[in-house]
Amino acid sequence: MIRNKKSFDSKVTFKTNNVASRIFERQIRTPAPGTSVHCARRFYENLVPRFTIYDVECPDHSFFKFTDDGQYFVSFSKNRQDLIVYRPKWLSYSCNVEDCDDTHELPPQAKRFESFFTQLYVQSLASCNELICKDFFLYMESNQFGIFATSTAQIQDARAADGAILGVPSFEKITIHLLRLEDGVKLDEKVFHNDCVNFTHNMGAFLYDDLLAVVSLRYQTIHILQIRDSGNLVDVRAIGAYCREDDELFINSSSQLSGNRGDLVDNGINHDQPNSNNSFLSGIKQRLLSFLFREIWSEETDQTQRIQCLKKKFYFHFQDYVDLVILKVQFLDRHHLLIKFGSVDIGGSRNTDQLPAFFAVYNMETTEIVAFYLNAAEKLYLLFERFCDHFHATSISSMYMNFISSHSNNIHALEQLKCMKNKATSASQFVKKMLSSLPLNCQSMSPSPYFDQSLFRFDEKLISATDRPRQSTDHPIRPRIRQRRWSEQKVFTFPVPSFFSIGSLLHPAVFVPASVVDEYSLPEIIFCKYLL
């Protein structure tokens, strides 16, 4: 009976590309549990760009991205002083011609930016001596809060300060702003003085639900902030010199009892920053060294072998471990952080594949290091390959971000990854290259259905879901519908010279993609893809 049932299902179950048939099938068939969103996204195969509007008259702004829910379109003024927020108007014009192509005439209003977006407000963020960090923006979807950053000019030859590490530039003032995107009201801000936070592509901060982690490179501190529903930024803990909330109090009280307070903590020093004259290592560094010692100690049972193993693996590399600095961090869940350790040179280098780096999993509640990996560890790579979605650490309540294609949830992405692995000349170098992206940048992936690899196939060297500008090519980029192997529907077309920089701004839900083409000496132009 079961065999016959399967045979019957295989005959009546078919996929059609006709939109009317798909709508009818949706009415008579119930999708399997947990697949309703995936079934609905198949309709995007019938909604592909067929018409392009060039040279749209648009404001002279730096257009950044859509929010993850598609409600807002964020941009900055050219002088990087003001925030300009728009709301998409969705589809404004239609074409009822059977073959609608580039020769079809649209009204003159179709070439105006205001026909597709409505300006909500202009909010001044930066002061006279500050600039907006144009590559940084985090969105809290549950409350529709936006997180922005401003900073003063970079000081390359910053003077040595207590607790600051050498080789890291300084900014006189860095401000993190919390705004309500609905009306642009400033809710709260967090200021860092004489510090350094790398906000390029959201590298220096990570948002998970209502928790925000900010990495201070200069003072080697991970600041954990909580965003309240009232719109307040509350300091939860600072991980670096101290790991527990009462560590500083305990050290100060102990030094008073011993009469050596001056040797441990100098009077007048800001205790949020570690003292470079302190002979003690930082709290996070002590946790790391103790974890390594216990791991190496447990490898051998014989006492003589233990001593030899400790000499070879721990004491010989002791100074190398001490010199490690925190470069990047991300949440794995509300209690665990993935921390990347390396040298100061890695922080300013673009190609970090060949440089040694380490990854540590830190439990904020117990203040313990629970795992430690080299950047060529096969074990960590296998975890990343099988559980890539867990590294993205998106909120469960997010409507669109949980449907991003990855090699742990999409068979086509996994096949592409295996193909890259087979072509690699060195397995260890491939592992280093893949793990160099860890910790992942927060909200760096576009949830657009046109990047769903179960629906479309495309060359990720030319365009991908990663929100970064890419060099255009002289030939158009043509992703194909995966279920229609004979079809070559042009979903994205960038027929511009290669000296332009292209950033794809795709809406996460509706079929209104836009493209920003930016040449350094020319104003920006938006290409709006008109869909049928």
Integer Cα distance of 481 and 484 in angstroms: 5
Q: Nearest 5 degrees, angle CA 33-CA 390-CA 468?
A: 105
What local confidence, expressed as pLDDT, does residue 512 receive? 58
Distance from C-alpha of 170 to C-alpha of 194, rounded to nearest angstrom: 6
Whole-angstrom distance, CA of residue 503 vs CA of residue 471: 9
Q: Determine the residue type at 301.
A: T
pLDDT for res 268: 41
**Strand duo 358-363 + 456-457: pairing:** unpaired
The pLDDT value given to residue 520: 44
Give the Cβ contact number of residue 446 at 10 Å.
24
Phi, psi (rounded to 5 degrees) for 63: -80, 130
Q: Is 356 exposed, middle or buried (0-12, 13-18, 19+ CB in 10 A)?
A: middle
Predicted pLDDT at 496:
44
Contact 225, 235 (CB under 8 A): yes
Distance CA 230, CA 310 (A): 52
Alpha carbon distance 401, 381 (integer Å) = 23
Per-residue confidence of the chain (532 residues) as pLDDT tens digits? 444 444 433 444 446 667 788 888 888 888 888 777 778 888 877 777 666 677 777 888 888 888 888 889 999 999 999 999 999 887 666 666 666 655 567 777 777 888 888 999 999 999 888 999 998 999 998 888 999 999 999 887 777 777 788 888 899 999 999 999 999 999 999 999 999 999 998 999 999 999 999 999 999 999 999 999 999 999 999 999 998 888 878 877 776 666 554 454 444 444 444 444 456 788 999 999 999 999 999 988 888 999 999 999 999 999 999 999 999 999 999 999 999 999 877 555 555 556 789 999 999 999 999 999 999 999 999 999 999 888 887 766 666 667 788 888 888 888 888 888 888 888 889 999 999 989 999 988 888 887 888 888 776 666 677 766 555 555 556 667 776 544 444 444 544 444 334 445 777 776 555 555 554 444 444 444 434 3
How many Å separate Cα 142 from the centre of its chain?
18
What residue type is 430 in one-letter code?
Answer: F
Q: Return the CA Rg of the chain.
A: 26
Computed from CA positions of residues 471, 452, 489, 418, in that sequence, does the dihedral angle turn out positive or negative?
A: positive
Integer Cα distance of 351 and 440 in angstroms: 16
Q: Burial of 166 by CB count in 10 Å (0-12 exposed, 13-18 middle, 19+ buried)?
A: exposed
| Full DSSP string of 66-82 | E-TTSS-EEEEETTS-E
- In contact, 49 and 490? CB cutoff 8 Å: yes
Spatial separation of the C-alpha atoms in residues 154 and 195, rounded to whole Å: 10
- Site of tokens 């869909």: 531
Contact 389/401 with Cβ under 8 angstroms? Answer: no
CA distance 114 to 51: 19
